[in-house]
């Protein structure tokens, strides 16, 4: 499988963020989007996740435009933005149950609880997520990755609010996904030991 950007340009209001951007990523690869604050990293990721349209150019999935594939493309996609997309009045286990249901992931209750325990939320699974710390909320959101069956992960600052142990664990999750021929596109401001032999870099500042 291959995701390809063909001469895409994006604006924020009247400001041109980047133009004529070309890249591709295929199974078993990781892509790091780099650049200063405000250069359009989040805008690019949201465009790849079909949350907005490019102002110019086209994005294809296996040579088919993603806007025409629509739901077929979304079935292969996991998007995780700055916000954790958790319902504060729901518990971590309830949020995870809803997320897997909405994404048509068949898993048992034991698998849900195990995912939260594995991600480091043992003892906090049945608390409303609004009372959790920022790091715990991030873990609750990231637990979905342990159950996801999607090929392409698009992650905006996934290491945000995580402690060193959690950062290391998330890196291992990403590494395993890549080793299973998954695809990951992410941004991060943190120094992390990503897979140097599998990584591609897109530097938006240079565009």
Question: What's the mean per-residue pLDDT of the chain?
Answer: 92
Report pTM: 0.92
What is the per-residue pLDDT across 62-105, written as a single tens digit (0 to 9) for each?
999 999 999 999 999 999 988 888 999 999 999 999 999 988 89
Confidence at residue 69, expressed as pLDDT on a 0 to 100 scale: 96
- Distance (Å, whole) CA 79 – CA 127: 24
Percentage of residues in the chain with pLDDT exceeding 70?
96
- The mean per-residue pLDDT over the stretch 187-194 comes to 75
Q: Tell whether the model's pLDDT for residue 61 goes beyond 80.
A: yes
End-to-end CA distance of the chain: 26
Q: Tell whether the model's pLDDT for residue 141 goes beyond 70.
A: yes
- The mean per-residue pLDDT over the stretch 130-142 comes to 94
Q: Tell whether the model's pLDDT for residue 9 goes beyond 90.
A: yes
- Banded pLDDT at 207 (limits 50, 70, 90): low
Least confident of 124-133, 176-185, 187-196: 187-196
Q: Which residues of 27-60 are buried (b: 16+ CB within 10 A; e: fewer)?
A: eebbbbbebeeebbbbbbbbbbbbeeebeebebb
Asked if 116 contacts 143 with a C-beta cutoff of 8 angstroms, the reply is yes
Confidence at residue 34, expressed as pLDDT on a 0 to 100 scale: 92
Confidence at residue 72, expressed as pLDDT on a 0 to 100 scale: 94
- The mean per-residue pLDDT over the stretch 170-174 comes to 92
- Distance (Å, whole) CA 45 – CA 156: 7
Q: Tell whether the model's pLDDT for residue 198 goes beyond 80.
A: no
- Banded pLDDT at 191 (limits 50, 70, 90): low
Reference 123, options 136, 134, 135, 110; nearest CA is: 136
């Amino acid at each position: 499988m291959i995701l390809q950007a063909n001469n895409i340009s994006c604006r924020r209001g009247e400001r041109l963020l980047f133009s004529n951007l070309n890249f591709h990523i295929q199974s078993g690869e990781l892509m790091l989007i780099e650049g200063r604050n405000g250069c359009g990293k989040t805008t690019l990721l949201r465009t790849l996740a079909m949350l907005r349209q490019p102002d110019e150019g086209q994005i294809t999935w296996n040579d088919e435009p993603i806007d025409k594939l629509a739901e077929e493309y979304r079935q292969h996609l996991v998007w995780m933005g700055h916000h954790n997309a958790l319902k504060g009045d729901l518990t971590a286990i309830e949020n995870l149950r809803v997320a897997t249901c909405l994404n048509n992931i068949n898993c048992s209750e034991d698998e849900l609880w195990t995912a939260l325990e594995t991600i480091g939320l043992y003892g906090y699974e049945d608390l409303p997520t609004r009372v959790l710390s920022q790091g715990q909320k991030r873990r609750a959101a990231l637990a979905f990755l342990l159950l996801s069956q999607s090929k392409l992960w698009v992650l905006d600052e996934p290491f945000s609010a995580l402690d060193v142990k959690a950062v290391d664990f998330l890196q291992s999750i990403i590494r395993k996904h890549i080793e299973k021929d998954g695809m990951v596109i992410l941004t991060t401001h943190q120094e992390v030991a990503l897979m140097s032999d599998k990584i591609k870099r897109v530097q938006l500042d240079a565009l």
